[in-house]
Amino acid sequence: MIRVSTRPDLRDALANLRKNDAKLGFVPTMGFLHEGHASLIRHARHSCDRVVVSLFVNPKQFGPNEDLERYPRDAERDQELCRREGVDILWMPRTEDVYPPGFRTEIHVQGLSDPLCGQMRPGHFTGVATVVARLLGLVRPDRAYFGQKDFQQWRILAQMVEDLALPVEIVRCPIVREPDGLALSSRNTYLSPEDRARALSLSRALARAMSAYLAGERQTDRLLAMARRHLADLDVEYLELRDLDSLQAVSTLDTHAVLAVAARLGQTRLIDNAILAPDSPDTDLPRLLEGAFL
Amino acid sequence: MIRVSTRPDLRDALANLRKNDAKLGFVPTMGFLHEGHASLIRHARHSCDRVVVSLFVNPKQFGPNEDLERYPRDAERDQELCRREGVDILWMPRTEDVYPPGFRTEIHVQGLSDPLCGQMRPGHFTGVATVVARLLGLVRPDRAYFGQKDFQQWRILAQMVEDLALPVEIVRCPIVREPDGLALSSRNTYLSPEDRARALSLSRALARAMSAYLAGERQTDRLLAMARRHLADLDVEYLELRDLDSLQAVSTLDTHAVLAVAARLGQTRLIDNAILAPDSPDTDLPRLLEGAFL
């Protein structure tokens, strides 16, 4: 594995990798890697010849009162994980490599950036779209991999890539969960043992709705009510059923929809979601409920 | 010359052109082509193997009270000019080829889009940056050519391409003028004979300042005052000296600066500019003053 920081070093390392028309997979991350990131890397390794991982805590996607400063970092462990997973290039840029002096471009994906997390985090998705466009331009991969846990981010980036006709395929990978259901997140490290236990309500709420959906329930208000019952003890920011393509609220479940939840546990903001569709990667969620009642 | 409209037809035509690693030059236009556009095409032909011209009156760069509806169009004459100039592909997209349903991305280049024409035309440069990014994505040229007459547009696009690390070189080409000095513009066709005569004040104002600059004048207020004297009869929107890189106002002329003017003649808004620098392509402007006094 080659570790690079500056843009010239990245360019040289990429030029080497790209020989013989090798397909390049790219996994952009903010570091503090966990099994979710490892799963993205494995997806990339499976469908590409070479894999590049970037590790950059992007200041533009944090609001003024958010956790940029205390966002967890562990470069040593991240490098170890990347090495173990067979990453070819680990790119750890400095801020000035991503945002050189005079950087001025901003990308906004209208409509898709406004609801859900966008409502709680103004400017967040503009920061995400902008940095990813920049990273894609510098790395120029054939495919880039994003986790479904941040499904709104994935949807926005897929739209951006389509609209700008960028020469890259955006791949969405399934959510990776702890055995008890908690969706993996670098921010889970913030949780106290008590909050860690309470956090299970998120995945259980989704599991309850998925269970009803699989049993044939298609009324959104009933699905939402079932999920909401599991969230009574939490400070819920939103619980919503949205069309997976437009992110508009849905009243009837005739297309692919996503049930998305965000909640605060102490200082920590957690999100989770499940795609309600016949071919959903989340159809095994109801097993969590069996565990919960054992 | 191949004329295409739909994206699949464009893609097929481009695939053919790109064989044998041909360098691709691209000239995006809004049509109603004149010698300024012809000059862009000739620059492209000179430094590339193949040339693509697009012709699309982009609704996103017109404000609600601007001239989108009456913007001049003459597809027949445009095709004839392109054929004559040796264009390989003339792309005349329909609106839905450029903006398919669900198109949602917007590109804003902060700072550079705010002053000068940006102040008069809110949203204009966001529309320009967005459509050019989209067109660049669909055509994927090696080089794209823009006229200095719209120098703020050129500066914004060059910054966007740098920031997003797009794989294209943005080339700025000199202003083409009528023999009497009027900068070519599709909008000149709007001018009454009286306004056409008055419009010469713009280039003469620039010529006066350039003349003083070449004689060693470096005080911006004096250069501006000299230019302003020629504009007394016009409805001037702005006359400003700005740093060519940052577009910030300059007080001393120690770097490359641009003297830019915008004025209204009846319903018509005209712009013009001159780069004040030792190696400026505009150093021949003072000859206009000789003509004026003959």
pLDDT for res B292: 59
pLDDT for res B234: 95
Asked if B159 lies within 8 A of A104 by C-beta distance, the reply is yes
| Chain B CA closest to residue A155 | B104
| Chain A CA closest to residue B246 | A102
pLDDT for res A253: 87
Asked if B106 lies within 8 A of A109 by C-beta distance, the reply is yes
pLDDT tens track for A125-157 = 999 999 999 999 999 999 999 999 999 999 999
Mean pLDDT on B174-191: 96
Burial status of residue A196 (CB atoms within 10 A of its CB: 0-12, 13-18, 19 or more): middle
In this complex, is the C-beta atom of A249 within 8 Å of any C-beta atom belonging to chain B? Answer: no
Burial status of residue A17 (CB atoms within 10 A of its CB: 0-12, 13-18, 19 or more): middle
In this complex, is the C-beta atom of A112 within 8 Å of any C-beta atom belonging to chain B? Answer: yes
Name the residue facing A137 among B108, B110, B166 (closest C-beta). B166
In this complex, is the C-beta atom of B107 within 8 Å of any C-beta atom belonging to chain A? Answer: yes
pLDDT for res B294: 40
- Does ipTM come in above 0.90? yes
Name the residue facing A107 among B105, B140, B165 (closest C-beta). B105
pTM, entire model: 0.96
Q: What are phi and psi of A84, to 5 degrees?
A: -60, -35
Clarify whether A37 is annotated catalytic: yes
Contact pairs from chain A to chain B, CB under 8 Å: 70
Asked if A112 lies within 8 A of B102 by C-beta distance, the reply is no
In this complex, is the C-beta atom of A38 within 8 Å of any C-beta atom belonging to chain B? Answer: no
Asked if B137 lies within 8 A of A166 by C-beta distance, the reply is yes
Instruction: Please report the domains of chain B, with CATH numbers, ordered by start residue.
Output: 2-173 (3.40.50.620), 186-293 (3.30.1300.10)
* Residue spans of alpha helices (H) in chain B: 7-17, 35-47, 75-84, 95-98, 117-120, 124-139, 151-163, 193-198, 200-214, 220-229, 287-293
DSSP string of A104-129?
Answer: -EEEEETTTTSSTHHHHSTTHHHHHH
pLDDT tens track for A195-246 = 999 999 999 999 999 999 999 999 999 999 999 999 998 999 999 999 999 9
